[in-house]
Amino acid sequence: MTDQLLPVDAYLVESLPEIWFGAVLFALGMYVVLDGFDFGIGMLYAIRTDEREREAFLAAFGPIWDANEVWIVAFGTMLLAAFPRVYSRLLADNYLLALGFVVALVFRGLGPELREQRDDERWKRYTDYAFIGGSVFAPLLLGMLAGRWLFGGATLPVALTGVGLVAVSILTGAAFLAAKTEPGLAAELRTYGIGATLAYLGGVVVLLGTVVLTDAGGAADAVLSLPVAAVVALSVAVGLGGSVLARRGRYRAWLVSALALPTLLTILVAILLYPTIYPPTGLLVREAVVSPLALNLVTVLGFPVLLLVLWYFKFLYGVFSGPIESEGYGE
């Protein structure tokens, strides 16, 4: 009976390993997009000194930041379920980066939570340090981990990948805040967002040029391919178009274009990886995936949960889609 429902020696559909490869990268992309603007808010928080503005920044992301972290859990869970050898090698090879990322996430999360517990200036200053430091180092270390995933131990491409994720996080954070705050502050935020856009696009060009010149991770040929060129060209068009929208005060449209950039970045990662899934080991997607029966089983059990999570996020962002109405974290 079980054999009839779930094939033992064949996938439910022939391309199921590739579907799971795409699903794993989709979860990573959702995390980079959604928690990316949270990180950006934390970094922009550092340049504000007005207490009312800082409270408004915390109120903007307070109700949703912990929900956004569901996607990093989903990424790890899906990678473990479908590609356990990649999961173990990726963590083993990048243990300190992964640990540092988790520690940064803890500091980012605890900072605002503890800030509300005492009305003391010194206490608030220290908790702000934790919040800002975690918001900077979490995307930096996650980007460096992604760089090592793609390019192995090549130092400059790995560092540039980390800095690029920091820049795009500042951009999405500025666009998110501009769409939810009053016009005067939004106009100031767009200056930082446009600067981050130019830094990000320039960084991507320098990164890919470095990879071509050094053949970091053996990825030179992939970088010179037509799909990569198309994604880079589209990123430049989206980034510059978004900057024009920002200058015209069309902040919601700017936010949409800003969120498209980390999405395109994730697509770029997928293109550079495939058909391998961990280039430093040479593992191909079909070599690293679990057996047909196991993959069929996690597909039947896991994909309905994924659809439920997507529905929940649609509901959550619909509830908190308006302008900031409170001036306190979690209110």
pLDDT of 200-249, one tens digit each? Answer: 999 999 999 999 999 988 899 999 999 999 999 999 999 999 999 999 99
Domain range 15-320, CATH architecture: Up-down Bundle (1.20)
324 close to 56: Cβ distance less than 8 angstroms: yes
Supply the pLDDT for residue 55: 87
Residue 331 has pLDDT above 70, yes or no: no
What is the spatial distance between Cα 94 and Cα 279, in angstroms, rounded to a whole number? 14
State the pLDDT at residue 326.
58
User: What whole-number percentage of the chain has pLDDT above 90?
Assistant: 74
Residue 124's nearest CA partner among 178, 45, 60 is: 45
Confidence of residue 4 (pLDDT cuts 50, 70, 90): low
Q: Are 161 and 146 in contact (CB under 8 A)?
A: yes
Q: How confident is the model at residue 325 (pLDDT cuts 50, 70, 90)?
A: low
Q: Which two tokens stand for residue 1?
A: 């009976």
pLDDT above 90 for 318: no
Q: Which residues of 173-210 are buried (b: 16+ CB within 10 A; e: fewer)?
A: bbbbbbbbbeeebbebbbebbbebbebbbebbeebbeb
Domain map (residue ranges) of the chain: 15-320
Mean pLDDT on 99-127: 91
Quote the pLDDT of residue 180: 87
Number of Cβ within 10 Å of residue 128's Cβ equals 18
pLDDT above 50: residue 192? yes
- Per-residue pLDDT at 59: 86
Sign of CA dihedral 126, 131, 132, 136: positive
> In this predicted model, what pLDDT tens digit does every residue of 43-98 receive, in sequence order?
999 998 888 888 888 888 777 888 899 999 999 999 999 999 999 999 999 999 99
Omega before 275 within 30 of 0, i.e. cis: yes
As a whole number of angstroms, the distance between CA 22 and CA 178 comes to 32
Instruction: Give the Cα separation of 253 and 284 in Å (integer).
Output: 39
| pLDDT score recorded for residue 329 | 56
Q: Percent of the chain beyond pLDDT 70?
A: 96
> For 282-306, what is the mean pLDDT?
94
Specify the pLDDT at position 1.
Answer: 45
In this prediction, residue 28 has a pLDDT band, given cuts at 50, 70 and 90, of: very high
Round to whole Å and give the CA distance between 197 and 195.
5
